[in-house]
Structure 1
Amino acid sequence: MDISGGIQASLAGRYALALFELARDEKKLDEVSASLAALKRAIDESDDFRTLVTSPLIGRNESAQSVAAIVETMKLDPLTRNFTGVLARNRRLSQIGNIVRAFNSLAARHRGEITAEVTSAHPLDGKQVDAIKQNLRTRMGRDIAVETTVDPAILGGLVVKIGSQMIDGSIRTKLNSLAQAMKG
């Protein structure tokens, strides 16, 4: 069954599809998903790590060695460790966020879930994410995998994207609508 769904069209999508197929064939989808989530979280939380993976000024060998040491101390699964090494050698570490997003989409589709991208102004805790999942599950009638991002520019509320649908409950959008209404 082909579940790539057009993901192959992008560079990150091709890498994600290759990793997904390896993880699926080795029955390590859950381990790789957890490792990728930890890796993305580490990049998001550390300015130094983010600079290491995105800066074109850091040489290929230095980047590969540094990332190998970091993922070893993070105790990521072997498949993800090898994969990050390939990304470092090919100068594709800057694509890790897009790769993780595409991988999660493939894994969710494999499990029969649909993926919702939820953007909030502040990080959501586990209870909030569970409540969103439950609400979306009721609304969509299917299991939902939630991928969260933080964007302080929305000021408050949530922006939820499921496929081509978007539910924009952000304060920024409400303020913009109010401003347009006041202009007449």
Structure 2
Amino acid sequence: MSYSAIPKTYAAAFADASSSPEEAEQELDSIVSIFQIEPQFRDFFDTPSVKKEDKEAVLLKTFQGKISEITLNFLQVLLRRGRFSFLSEIHEALKEELDRKAGRVRAKVRSYPLLDEASLAKLREVLKEKFKSEFILESSEDPSLLGGFVVRFQDLAIDSSMKSQLKKVRQTLLDSKLPVGVVYEN
């Protein structure tokens, strides 16, 4: 099994085993956040010299009664099989799996200036109409675009930025050939 397939395989199994995959995804989201906020906690689980039994004891002490049994069991399976380091990738793959099943698409929108809610709602509607899917837009500001926006999702990119339009104009001007010997006078 290639490393890129591991998160998808575990995410699909976790989604299938959960009675409420959305709730399980929220729990996993909280757990991944804890690991990002507390690097010492993450380092404890990443350290190979710490025994799996010790890691499992800390896992149980920290999360038992605070998350569902299925999520806790899933974390234990990851730990026992040496896949705990894939937790954040599994979380991302789980979000993608749930989005796919629900017909949603997550897209990143870079713009300059930052798009307001009304513009994002309009863009969401245009994308929904064109691609027949619900869109979850993650917006960020990118001054290098000079104006306009770039939307990226799955394998697609929609570039409506001033930067790309100026590049096209430049290339068109470079490609057009002037006749030799033409002299321009004022």
TM-score by length of 1: 0.64
Residues 108 and 76 (structure 1), Cα distance of their counterparts in 2 relative to 1, 3 Å cut: same
- Structure 1: 5+ residue stretches without partners: 1-7, 120-127, 178-184
Contact preservation (8 Å) 1:108, 1:145: no
Residues 100 and 72 (structure 1), Cα distance of their counterparts in 2 relative to 1, 3 Å cut: same
1:13 positional shift: 1.2
In the alignment, structure 1 residue 53 sits paired with structure 2 residue 11: no
In structure 1, the residue matched to 2:170 is none
In structure 2, the residue matched to 1:140 is 127
CA deviation vs aligned residue, 1:84-136 (integer Å, no higher than 9, x gap):
011111121110011001111111111111123579xxxxxxxx8x7797365
Residues 108 and 58 (structure 1), Cα distance of their counterparts in 2 relative to 1, 3 Å cut: same
In 1, Cα distance between equivalents of 2:119 and 2:51? 42
In structure 2, the residue matched to 1:122 is none
In 2, Cα distance between equivalents of 1:101 and 1:56? 24
1:56 positional shift: 2.0
In 2, Cα distance between equivalents of 1:71 and 1:136? 40
Residues 37 and 132 (structure 1), Cα distance of their counterparts in 2 relative to 1, 3 Å cut: farther
| Residue of structure 2 aligned with 1:113, choices 90, 99, 104 | 104
In structure 2, the residue matched to 1:5 is none
Once the two structures are superposed, the pairs formed by residues 8-23 of structure 1 within 5 Å of their partners are 10-23=5-18
In 2, Cα distance between equivalents of 1:44 and 1:143? 29
Letter in 1 for 2:96: S
In the alignment, structure 1 residue 66 sits paired with structure 2 residue 37: no
In 2, Cα distance between equivalents of 1:97 and 1:45? 13
CA deviation vs aligned residue, 1:54-92 (integer Å, no higher than 9, x gap):
22232211112112222226x112211110011111121
In 1, Cα distance between equivalents of 2:119 and 2:93? 21
TM-score by length of 2: 0.64
In structure 2, the residue matched to 1:125 is none
Contact preservation (8 Å) 2:124, 2:137: no
CA deviation vs aligned residue, 1:129-161 (integer Å, no higher than 9, x gap):
x7797365234213124679x9xxx99999864
| Residue of structure 1 aligned with 2:82, choices 83, 88, 91 | 91
Contact preservation (8 Å) 2:105, 2:153: yes
Contact preservation (8 Å) 1:68, 1:84: no
The structure with the larger Rg is: 2
Letter in 2 for 1:89: R
Two-structure CA RMSD over aligned residues (Å): 3.6
Residues 58 and 168 (structure 1), Cα distance of their counterparts in 2 relative to 1, 3 Å cut: farther
In 2, Cα distance between equivalents of 1:43 and 1:109? 26
